Amino acid sequence: MNPFRFLADPGDVPDGPSLRAAARTAESIGYSVLVYADHVVIPFGFLPLLTTAAAATERLRVAPFVANNDLRHPALLAQDLATLDVLSGGRVEVAIGAGWNRPEYVALGLPFDPVGVRVSRLTEAVAVLKGSFGPGPFSFVGEHYQVTEHDGLPKPVQAPHPPLFIGGGGRRVLSLAGHEADIVGLAPRTLPHSGPDIVRSDPRSITIAATEEKLGWVREAAGERFDSLEINVYPTGSAPMLTDTPRKAAADILDGIRARTGVEVDVDDYLASPHVFIGSVDGLVAKFTELRERLGISSFMTGDIETLAPVVERLAGT
């Protein structure tokens, strides 16, 4: 089994000193990776933020969670992240996705293509990323990208490339992750009736049964390399919570989910979900241990740094 690794977001840090302090706190608690989202509607761009965090720490790894492929050419993303990998001494992870936030596309005047087109573009982008990280010039001809004798510089410290994270909730993206990624992120699927400008997760897709189905898609695509993959999950539908009354907390949350979506989810199924981090410290330690034993999940994005710190201190690296 892979050792436990935990990822956290620095939260709403207002300035450089606050960010550096948050990064050092995450490192001291035992977090493996500090992450930051890639959106134009949040306070900071991920690259300068992660660079600042890496410079303030010694062991903490950094990663976007996740880079939106549609916002920049993958060869440029490769150069930026390889530069950070060199400057940090090999502490970068490359997490990339197909893009999902339609209002952001509208605000920027970018076409929000159907999901199949975005996933096809992501598939080609992964090839360009790996080519750029490679030892010499490469060429690539696809529907979305054409690269001619490009030698991506600098070369990352981590060879053949920094760990590649691809995640999603649909079969096509998870099959791509099984083929190409080092870390596979399991995400919920979205409700088909959410409307063009609203993204809602389907509560049924965060259950143990749905997770097993997704892992089946990954395993089928990965073949013999499946056992070498790291599997990641993140909280969905509610923020992590330490409480001695998890059933009451879950019931209150499910009342809200039912009102928003009309979907009924059993309290026990909800609390068992790999995407729900609600319970006591001992309870969550036991749950994460069971998820690793049963499903092979060893990587957890906890959201903020402080809430699950006692759990991270117990499990990180074990």
Domain boundaries, the chain: 5-315
14-63 pLDDT tens trace? 999 999 999 999 999 999 999 999 999 999 999 999 999 999 999 999 99
pLDDT higher than 90, residue 258: no
Domain covering 5-315: architecture: Alpha-Beta Barrel (3.20)
Residues 65/36, Cβ–Cβ less than 8 Å: yes
106-141 pLDDT tens trace? 999 999 999 999 999 999 999 999 999 999 999 999
What does the pLDDT read at residue 197?
A: 46
What does the pLDDT read at residue 192?
A: 55
Contacts of 225 (CB under 8 A, 6+ apart): none
Q: Which residue is listed with tokens 């026990």?
A: 268
Helix, strand, coil share of the chain (percent; to 5): 45, 15, 40
Q: What is the pTM of this model?
A: 0.95
Quote the CA–CA distance of 91 and 93 in Å, as a whole number.
7
217-227 pLDDT tens trace? 999 999 999 99
pLDDT higher than 60, residue 76: yes
pLDDT higher than 90, residue 201: no
Give the three-class secondary structure for 29: helix
What does the pLDDT read at residue 289?
A: 98
pLDDT higher than 90, residue 191: no
